Amino acid sequence: MTEEMIAAAAGHFETLLREQLRRQARMAQGAESKDYAKADHIVIGIADGDGIGPIIMREARRAAEKLLRGEIASGRVELREIRGLTLEDRLACAQAVPADALEAVKGCDVLLKGPTTTPKGGTLESANVTLRRELDLYANVRPVCVPEEGIDWIFFRENTEGEYALGSRGIEIPGELTMDFKVTTDAGTRRIARMAFEYARANGKNRVAIVTKANIMKKTDGMFSRIAHEVASDYPDIEAEDWYIDIMTANLVNPAVRNRFQVFLLPNLYGDIITDEAAQIQGGVGTAGSANLGSRYAMFEAVHGSAPRKIESGEGDYANPASILKALELLLRHIAMPEKADRLAEALHLCTETERRVVVTGHRDGASCREFGDYLLEKL
């Protein structure tokens, strides 16, 4: 029986290997991007998600409608509702992203998405992982800023490979062992590295930290580090530094050194973990927005999840919408509307840092999500 399982596992692995080689070939061909500054029509998909998603997304939608009122009225911008991404919808059809919802998303240019729940165990994949793969959103970009401590970080996390690429398609020999797979491709690494170094050059940064565990994961992380340095050679004015993920997690909480870091370049799993740590330093995962960028599509969301425990405790209405509002700011910059992004950023700073007349704590002792949204609209 074990020999049969080994043969089946080998066949399964061959299938995965061939799929990834075809994907590498497609990536190497590149894809055409959209110039939003010249676009006559921009479709922004709005997907609420589940858990606290609909609650915080309501405030993001209200802010978007106010900021883009003129563009919506003229027809240059369309806000389009995307349905079908609740946990109930996904469980009903046993698909991480239902086919009709995915088709609707592909009809948009960019997506502002609320958090979605991924069940523990089972085979239902993360909706985020599926969307990143299907839309080829290869760059997860997360800024973190704490001015009073000299922290101005931006993380470029590879978004479609690593441990997450095949996370629900590992091999199991019941009662014996299980194996999952980690994927690193040449094309996938080059494009995320190029984006990080281009950002550094365009924004006056002179240091990029390449974060891996290449001393242990010699094939995958070793390849990531090698290719990142090959790309770095095209940017002689920028210093490329190698760091291991374990010491970098320590560096971020070390006030003596952390303000020297600027741009981070990381594989998928490490980027997922360390950006939550960075967001906590900024004030919590509820304060951080996230951009998922590809050549054709882009998706913007909060760093945090759907917070089912907050819903269960009856405190969902007290969720902090700051994270999804920061994601909206990133979206506005992506579609070449920096002045509107600046308006939102200034209003958010006033509401959360300077004036702080309405304070969200995430619990009943603070303001509700709706009250904060009203406050923000007043300042906009």
Question: pLDDT by residue (tens digit) across 299-354?
Answer: 999 888 899 999 999 999 999 999 999 999 999 999 999 999 999 999 999 999 89
Determine how many CB atoms are found less than 10 A away from the CB of residue 200: 24
Q: Residue type for 173, please? A: I
Q: What does the pLDDT read at residue 125?
A: 83
According to DSSP, the residues that pair with 380 across neighbouring strands are: none
Alpha helices by DSSP H, the chain: 2-29, 53-67, 69-74, 87-93, 99-106, 127-134, 186-202, 220-232, 245-251, 268-282, 308-312, 322-334, 338-349, 369-379
Average pLDDT for consecutive 10-residue bins of the chain (380 residues)? Answer: 84 90 87 88 96 96 98 97 92 92 96 91 82 92 92 95 85 88 95 97 96 96 98 98 97 96 97 93 83 94 89 94 95 96 96 92 94 96
| CA pair distance 176, 193, nearest whole angstrom | 39
Tell me if residue 335 falls in helix, strand or coil. Answer: coil
According to DSSP, the residues that pair with 111 across neighbouring strands are: 45, 299
Each residue of 170-214: pLDDT tens digit?
888 888 888 999 999 999 999 999 999 999 999 999 999 999 999
CA 280-362-359 angle, 5° bins: 95
Strands 263-266 and 151-158: parallel
Q: What does the pLDDT read at residue 305?
A: 87
Q: What does the pLDDT read at residue 122?
A: 72
Strands 239-244 and 207-212: parallel
* Residue 333, φ and ψ in degrees, nearest 5: -65, -40
| Helix or strand holding residue 145 (H, E) | strand 139-146
> What is the layout of strands, in order, in the sheet containing 110-113?
77-81, 42-47, 110-113, 298-302, 289-293, 139-146, 151-158, 263-266, 207-212, 239-244
Q: What does the pLDDT read at residue 1?
A: 60
| Domain edges within the chain | 33-137+294-380, 141-153+183-287
CA 371-372-377 angle, 5° bins: 100
CATH T-level fold of 141-153+183-287: Rossmann fold (3.40.50)
260 token code pair: 């020297």
Closest Cα to residue 325, out of 336, 305, 341?
341
The CATH class, in words, for 33-137+294-380 is alpha beta
